[in-house]
Structure 1
Amino acid sequence: MQAWIKQAWLKPEDFLFPMRTASTMACIAEALGMTMPGGASPPAVTADRMRIAEQTGTQAVTMAKAGLTIDKILTPQAFENAIRVLLAIGGSTNAIVHLAAMAGRMGFDLDLEAMDRMGRETPVLVDLKPSGKHYMEHFHAAGGMATLLRELRPFLNLDCLTVTGRTLGEELDAAGPAFAQDVVRPMSNPIYPQGGLAVLKGNLAPGGAIIKQSAANAKLMEHEGRAVVFENTADMAARIDSDDLDVTADDILVLKNIGPKGAPGMPEAGYMPIPLKLAKAGVKDIVRISDGRMSGTAFGTIVLHVTPESAVGGPLAHICSGDRIRLSVKNREISVLISDEELARRAKENPITPPTADRGYRKLFLQTVMQADQGVDFDFLRLPENRGKTPTR
């Protein structure tokens, strides 16, 4: 095995997993009460994973016989627990889209402003890449979710039901005592003082935008710069590495039309590359803004999920190269420094026609897919009855 690794130019750590989207969602599923306790972290090739798989099959049958359905588990309070965990693990930005879609199917709206308030009081505790230094295997060896939930206990809704038929608090009590480890930090010594994700608003994103602040450059989180605009991914691919690109390290890259309808499908194109001329000069990060997504393993000062997206006429559609943009994570602001009147004039002079299709799945998708703040889900899959918001804090 070692010889093969050397031959393939791979390192042992290449087989380890950071807090990517899949790992994030596994942790969230356990926090929601939707997986067997301890199911979030076991590596795929271990006996622990096989054991959890067998327990899952057994419990699924038990749930069916007992009539324990997911509507009894996925309550607003359960989603609060999941959000708390997302913030504390420095999890993937993609998780917000997934949580919004799940909440919508249960009849709840995901309240981004309430989530952001939770983020101000929930530090990042799990020392995993890209926010920290360890990997999921180390998290598992440190006790996995039980260790984290034990530290978060004062913030959790412990009476939430889980798939076992017991409450989250009961499962946590049964998990056993803590032990010495260095992957999950105590509240008194966090990796990052606030939650990994922050919600931004402003005239550029009236419906909200997301930044993974725990993986961003602290020097760029309060920044004003000139916009360098790409109309779509093809435009970016054609110009990003050109020596003629008018860009400096103080500028802000803006990529349009990679949202739910614009791409379509909201791809992970928000992790825009550093322009080649800047990379050659040693620039490692630059503020980037888009209506798309990025991988959970990505890092940098990157604003994502701008809502409404440019393809449906959101303000992002009317940003021009040379406009000044202000990013203030401290103030939770993402704004273009032009007047409302100027934005309205641009929208009137260059009206946006949302993309359509004549038939088939593409037509269904474009007619019914919702925006990022609603989970990029089909509108007909949401519960018709609106049952309120989550978090409720």
Structure 2
Amino acid sequence: MTHKRPEDLRSARWFAPDDLRSMGHRSRAMQMGLSEEDWEGKPVIAVINTWSDLSPCHHHLRDRAEQVKRGILQAGGMPAELPVHSFSEQFLKPTSMLYRNMGAMEVEETLRSHPVDGAVLLGGCDKSTPALIMGAISMGIPFIFMPAGAMLRGNYAGQKLGSGTDVWKYWDERRAGTIGKEEWMGVQGGIARSYGTCMTMGTASTMMSIAEGWGLTLPGASSIPAPDAGHKRMAAACGRRIVDMVWEDLTPDRIITAASTRNATAVAMATGCSTNAIIHLIAMARRAGVEWGLDDLDRIGREVPVLANLRPSGKEYLMEDFFYAGGLPALMKEMSGKLDLSVTTVTGRTLGECIEGAVNYNDDVIRPMSNPLYHEGSLAVLRGNLAPDGAVIKPAAMDSRFQVHSGPAIVADNYADLKKIINDENYPMTPDHVLVLRNAGPQGGPGMPEWGMIPMPKALLKQGHRDMMRLSDARMSGTSYGACILHVAPEAFIGGPLALIKTGDIIEMNIPNRTLNVKLSAEELEERRAAWTPPEARYERGYGYMFTKHVEQADKGCDFDFLKTEFGGPVPEPEIN
């Protein structure tokens, strides 16, 4: 059913009036070989593409954009491909997280400044999903997120390889001397066999799943492997559907609600999600005006078990197996009692209608609620005198003996110092020590790099140990595992309690009680604070300067303070002149 008239289209402000400026718009469109038949009375759909030659996860999106355009044309729309930042996780330094907010601003302003009525967002590599969605939410026009999809399973010597997860595992073994260079090079050549994102339940698969759980993708879209022919068909279907969404005026505020945000969080927990999900979920929800924070995430984490038996929480399966088992619709069907099935999705139908026919074809890959992989959700939020604003840990992906732990700290002020400690085979430590990295948060990193999955020290690897308690104000890759406490807030760089601890201080963690403390009195902490000297600023100019001046802490989602919903009210539409 059509709700919007052609003359009400946003793009009509550029093309329809019989005046000087609109004549210029039409003539320049004709310069590109277009004619009135291309735009008159038709929605103009932006195909926001994160393809680049240095983004292996998105290397197929140049082709997928053509499939999306095909669908738009089939449905009677006019496609317009617009490139944005590629968010290459592998090659961006110091970290892609530094550029998430820049990308979100680029998406928002690209959509606002061009004559477009709706958008299909093409992305999937870690920071691309939240950046694309944050920008599109803030713009407010109808959009669909089209997931890039995971790559095929890795393979070496007959063994399945999972990107990231097996890199860390085999690197530990090489450093321990149990494998040599030949095996290491074999893993290198077999672990990434196709285009697409990491095929473990890392940050990429987590965020694509969250987008679907939120109702922002077509049903099943987040689980289709990137090289599968069904991925091309899904891309074309996104193009067809967005045209109808424009006529229906199905804007993001009708989809992203408090109820759908609870759904997205519950889905994340059931998948065994990346720790990065917490930061991005909070940032995206806040952009939509939904109050959402660490306590909400922890509460749902206690209620929803891990059902997806995927690495790194699981030991065997990867995203390709998850797809064959029925994908995210099957998982949501299994956990339907934990979801609000009445929420609206980009299909125009309810979530319940979207998953009604879903089937679980392998109940070892997608566990039923009666037989979860882990009894609680993937993540836990810790608080205490060391993290008054919270810290995060992934209990499902660590040695269970660290559920309750106390040990002396070994403190590194930066990553260079940390490397000296972990590479010293004779460093005096035991598996009960707590290895601490600080000054690696949003401002200290800068950009909060993925240094929180601190490699196991050689001194312990040689003794046969493969896990220990590690603590930082950094993030870690969603493909990582181990007893790593992350996102300590406030961060050390701005004077958080992490800045005050010393080697030898006793760190105490209790996951069941959700506590994280240093065994020091309030008086001792205050004395140390009085003696603390703030570090020098990281940047004096450019984007880095803007980032460090305006980025919020991890518990607020690391968005810019001037982009939050409450700031300044709605952004006006551009003048057409």
TM class, shorter-length: over 0.9
Secondary structure class of the residue paired with 2:207: helix
Q: 1:281 to 1:369 in 2, by over 3 A?
A: same
1:59 counterpart residue number: 241
How far apart, CA to CA, are the structure 1 residues paired with 2:322 and 2:426?
46
How far apart, CA to CA, are the structure 2 residues paired with 1:252 and 1:222?
13
Q: Segments of 4+ in structure 1 off by > 6 A?
A: 4-8
Tell me, yes or no, if the aligned pair for 1:311 and 1:355 is still in contact at 8 Å. no
- Tell me the amino acid that sits aligned with residue 9 of structure 1: G
Note if 1:307 corresponds to 2:489.
yes
Q: 1:354 to 1:60 in 2, by over 3 A?
A: farther
For 1:127-206, what aligned pairs fall within 5 Å after superposition? Answer: 127-132=309-314, 133-173=316-356, 175-179=357-361, 181-206=363-388
The alignment's C-alpha RMSD in Å is: 2.1
Tell me, yes or no, if the aligned pair for 1:252 and 1:288 is still in contact at 8 Å. yes
2:75 counterpart residue number: none
Aligned residues: 383
How far apart, CA to CA, are the structure 1 residues paired with 2:423 and 2:528?
29
Tell me, yes or no, if the aligned pair for 1:228 and 1:254 is still in contact at 8 Å. yes
1:86 counterpart residue number: 268
* Cα deviation 1:41-96 (Å, max 9, x = unaligned): 11111011111111112112222222111111111111100110111111100111
Q: 1:352 to 1:178 in 2, by over 3 A?
A: same
How far apart, CA to CA, are the structure 2 residues paired with 1:349 and 1:135?
49
Aligned counterpart for 2:207 among listed residues 17, 25, 45: 25
2:121 counterpart residue number: none
Structure 1 position 190, deviation (Å): 0.6
Tell me, yes or no, if the aligned pair for 1:356 and 1:367 is still in contact at 8 Å. no
Structure 1 position 356, deviation (Å): 5.6
Note if 1:347 corresponds to 2:347.
no
**Percent identity among equivalent residues?**
45
How far apart, CA to CA, are the structure 2 residues paired with 1:263 and 1:178?
42
Secondary structure class of the residue paired with 1:56: helix
How far apart, CA to CA, are the structure 1 residues paired with 2:397 and 2:365?
17
Note if 1:47 corresponds to 2:224.
no
Tell me, yes or no, if the aligned pair for 1:270 and 1:304 is still in contact at 8 Å. yes
How far apart, CA to CA, are the structure 2 residues paired with 1:323 and 1:343?
11
Secondary structure class of the residue paired with 1:23: helix
Tell me, yes or no, if the aligned pair for 2:448 and 2:475 is still in contact at 8 Å. yes
Q: 1:5 to 1:341 in 2, by over 3 A?
A: closer
Higher relative contact order (CA 8 A, sep 6+): 1
Note if 1:218 corresponds to 2:400.
yes
Q: 1:359 to 1:14 in 2, by over 3 A?
A: closer
* Cα deviation 1:177-229 (Å, max 9, x = unaligned): 55454311111111001111111111000000000010011011211000000
How far apart, CA to CA, are the structure 1 residues paired with 2:362 and 2:417?
52
How far apart, CA to CA, are the structure 1 residues paired with 2:438 and 2:296?
27
How far apart, CA to CA, are the structure 1 residues paired with 2:418 and 2:268?
31
- Tell me the amino acid that sits aligned with residue 443 of structure 2: K
How far apart, CA to CA, are the structure 2 residues paired with 1:325 and 1:303?
11
**Normalising to structure 2: TM-score of the pair?**
0.64
**Normalising to structure 1: TM-score of the pair?**
0.93
* Cα deviation 1:346-379 (Å, max 9, x = unaligned): 0011143573633211111111001111111111
How far apart, CA to CA, are the structure 2 residues paired with 1:261 and 1:139?
37
Aligned counterpart for 1:9 among listed residues 181, 186, 194: 186
Structure 1 position 244, deviation (Å): 5.1
Tell me, yes or no, if the aligned pair for 2:324 and 2:361 is still in contact at 8 Å. no
How far apart, CA to CA, are the structure 2 residues paired with 1:119 and 1:194?
6
How far apart, CA to CA, are the structure 1 residues paired with 2:363 and 2:455?
36
Tell me, yes or no, if the aligned pair for 1:109 and 1:374 is still in contact at 8 Å. no
Secondary structure class of the residue paired with 2:270: helix
Structure 1 position 12, deviation (Å): 6.4
Structure 1 position 248, deviation (Å): 1.6
2:420 counterpart residue number: 238
Q: Which runs of 5+ in 1 are unaligned?
A: 388-393
Aligned counterpart for 1:254 among listed residues 418, 422, 436: 436
Q: Which runs of 5+ in 2 are unaligned?
A: 1-154, 158-181, 570-577
Secondary structure class of the residue paired with 1:327: strand
Q: 1:254 to 1:178 in 2, by over 3 A?
A: closer
